[in-house]
Amino acid sequence: MRAERQRMDKKKSLGNVETRYATFAESPHELLLEGGQKLGPITLAYETYGRLDADKSNAVLICHALSGDAHAAGFHPGDEDPGWWDAMIGPGKAFDTDKYFVICSNVIGGCKGSTGPSSINPAAGKPYGLDFPVITIGDMVNAQRYLIDHLGIGRLLCVCGGSMGGMQVLQWVASYPERVRCAIPIATALKHSPQQIAFDEVGRQAVMADPEWREGDYYGHGQPERGLAVARMIGHITYMSDKSMEEKFSRRLKEKDYSFQFKTDFEVEGYLRYRGDNFVKRFDANSYLYITKAMDYFDVAGDSLIPAERRAETRFLVIAFRSDWLYPLYQSQEIVRQLKRRHADATYCEINSTYGHDAFLLEIEEETHLIKHFLDKTYKGYNVR
Annotated catalytic sites, by residue?
163, 324, 357
DSSP string covering 187-203: S--SB--HHHHHHHHHH
SS3 363: coil
CB-side neighbour CA atoms (13 Å) of 278: 9
Residue 27 sits in the site that holds a second copy (CB under 8 A): no
Q: Which is nearer to a second copy, 10 or 252 (CB)?
A: 252
114-133: contacts with a second copy (CB under 8 A): 130, 133
Residues with Cβ < 8 Å from 151, sequence gap 6 or more?
Answer: 48, 52, 59, 103
Q: Which is nearer to a second copy, 159 or 272 (CB)?
A: 272
Shortest distance, CB of residue 186 to a second copy, whole angstroms? 20
Binding residues for substrate: 232, 358
Shortest distance, CB of residue 369 to a second copy, whole angstroms? 29
- Of 88, 64, 76, nearest in space to 9 by CA: 88
- Of 202, 213, 210, 183, nearest in space to 306 by CA: 183
292-311: contacts with a second copy (CB under 8 A): 293, 296, 299
> For residues 44 and 220, what is the distance between their CA atoms, to the nearest angstrom?
23
137-176: contacts with a second copy (CB under 8 A): none
Find the radius of gyration of the CA atoms of the chain: 21
> Which range binds a second copy by CB under 8 A, 143-151, 171-179, 225-233, 336-344?
225-233
DSSP string covering 141-181: HHHHHHHHHHTT-SSEEEEEEETHHHHHHHHHHHH-GGGEE
Q: Which is nearer to a second copy, 85 or 128 (CB)?
A: 128
247-266: contacts with a second copy (CB under 8 A): 248-251, 258-262, 266
Shortest distance, CB of residue 35 to a second copy, whole angstroms? 3
Amino acid of residue 378: T
> For residues 111 and 45, what is the distance between their CA atoms, to the nearest angstrom?
10
**Cα-flanking dihedrals φ and ψ of residue 158, to 5°?**
-155, 145
Give the x/- contact pattern for a second copy in 37-56, rule: CB under 8 A.
Answer: x-------------------
Shortest distance, CB of residue 243 to a second copy, whole angstroms? 9
Binding residues: 232, 358
Determine the distance from the C-alpha atom of residue 204 to the mean position of all C-alpha atoms in its chain, rounded to a whole number.
18
Shortest distance, CB of residue 338 to a second copy, whole angstroms? 16
Q: Which is nearer to a second copy, 112 or 293 (CB)?
A: 293
Q: Which is nearer to a second copy, 16 or 250 (CB)?
A: 250
Angle at 152 between CA 150 and CA 154, to 5 degrees: 115
In the complex, which residues of this chain contact a second copy (CB under 8 A)?
33-37, 130, 133-134, 191-195, 197-199, 201-202, 204-206, 208-211, 226-227, 229-230, 233-234, 236-237, 240-242, 245-246, 248-251, 258-262, 266-269, 272-273, 276, 289, 293, 296, 299, 325, 328
